[in-house]
Amino acid sequence: MSDAQELLTVRGLRKYHRAAAGTVHAVDGVDFGIATGEVLGLVGESGCGKSTLGRTLNGLDAPEAGSIRFRGAELVGLGRRALRPHRREMQMVFQDPFGSLNPRDSIGTILQDPLRVHGLGTRAERRETAAALLERVGLRAADLDRYPHEFSGGQRQRISIARAIALRPRLVICDEAVSALDVSIQAQIVNLLRSLQVEFGLSYLFISHDLAVVGYLSDRIAVMYLGRIVEIGSKASLLRQPRHPYTRALFSALPGRGGSRADRQALRGEPPSPLNPPQGCRFHPRCPIAVERCRVEVPAMRELGDAHAAACHLAA
């Protein structure tokens, strides 16, 4: 997929956090793209930088370096006013719906605020739109005058999704959007996201540690480790033949992969600290097949055919 075909194109993106102990390399040279109507799943262990990447793309965190092109426009370096029309078309759904919904505001106010900020519709039209949004996500128009604490976690996430689609965005970043929900509710929310994608032609960046959910929803999957994407490809290609040893270990525990429990590839040790990432390949301290080259040379992302790429010296 060329840059010209992509809705979102990210190149060399870096986001660091300053801490008392040093600098956290949360996102450290990330490249990928998302096409119109595509779902890109982003997986990796907790702390690998997935959520920071989502926040940086949406303008909630400013990057240190790199490029974010959305519909052909460069977003890095734009001020808040210049970013506004782009943020209208790139919305976010967070893991904690209660934390992202103002408890003092009614549901009607929460859903109408994005429309008001962007000057869309009269007050009556905005309320009518909010009512329609609630019904579209499986709630009642009568719920407009209720408050977030009156709803269950799954219902609050439906409200968050309604708010995210209120402005008819082209891209929605879902940051662990179902991970805090019961399994039965997760399935309902994932099916809702899928139906909204079809109805509105949405693209998703679906960030999750749940490989089964990502495998169900995504068209392509990117695997992140310690601030970098180490493998990316179509869902079918990655699930059939993961090329990076980290991806193989992650996916070996998926249901339906075949083989016995003994065949599962356990990851040894804990991920190194992003305060002091290893030289060379960042996975080499935990990798069962690492050689000396892996310890000293950063592997480039290499195309392996079928729009599948991995950052591994030994991938073939």
Residue 205, pLDDT score: 98
At residue 254, does pLDDT exceed 80? Answer: no
In a domain, 111, yes or no: no
Confidence of residue 257 (pLDDT cuts 50, 70, 90): low
d(CA 198, CA 221): 19
Confidence of residue 262 (pLDDT cuts 50, 70, 90): very low
Q: pTM of the prediction?
A: 0.92
In a domain, 168, yes or no: no
Residue 267, pLDDT score: 74
Sign of CA dihedral 87, 93, 94, 98: positive
Residue 28, pLDDT score: 96
Greater confidence (140 vs 100) lies with 140
Q: What are phi and psi of 307, to 5 degrees?
A: 55, 35
In a domain, 252, yes or no: yes
Over the stretch 62-84, which tens digit does the pLDDT of each residue have? 999 999 999 999 999 998 889 98
Q: Over the chain, what is the mean pLDDT?
A: 92
Mean pLDDT for 205-229 is 95
Please state whether beta strands 73-74 and 90-93 pair in parallel, antiparallel, or not at all (unpaired).
unpaired
**Residues 181, 190 contacting (CB under 8 angstroms):** no
Residue 281's domain comprises: 245-315
Mean pLDDT for 187-192 is 96
In a domain, 297, yes or no: yes
Mean pLDDT for 172-180 is 94
Residue 260, pLDDT score: 45
d(CA 105, CA 103): 6
**Could you count the other beta carbons within 10 Å of the beta carbon of residue 236?**
13
Exposure b/e, 191-220, CB count within 10 A at least 16 = b: ebbeebbeeeebbbbbbbbbbebbbbbbbb
In a domain, 32, yes or no: no
In a domain, 157, yes or no: no
Mean pLDDT for 199-213 is 95
**Residues 37, 203 contacting (CB under 8 angstroms):** yes
Over the stretch 264-292, which tens digit does the pLDDT of each residue have? 566 777 888 999 999 999 999 999 999 99
Exposure b/e, 8-25, CB count within 10 A at least 16 = b: bbbeebbbbeeeeeeebb
Give the percent of the chain with pLDDT over 70: 94
Over the stretch 27-56, which tens digit does the pLDDT of each residue have? 999 999 999 999 999 999 989 999 999 999
DSSP 149: G
**Residues 231, 300 contacting (CB under 8 angstroms):** no
Instruction: Specify the number of domains making up the chain.
Output: 1
Greater confidence (303 vs 269) lies with 303
Strand partners, 225: 228
d(CA 117, CA 121): 11
**Residues 97, 189 contacting (CB under 8 angstroms):** no
Dihedral Cα 140, 142, 147, 149, nearest 10 deg: -50
Over the stretch 122-160, which tens digit does the pLDDT of each residue have? 999 999 999 999 999 999 999 999 999 999 999 999 999
Residue 144, pLDDT score: 98
Residue 264, pLDDT score: 55
In a domain, 291, yes or no: yes
In a domain, 256, yes or no: yes
**Could you count the other beta carbons within 10 Å of the beta carbon of residue 316?**
7
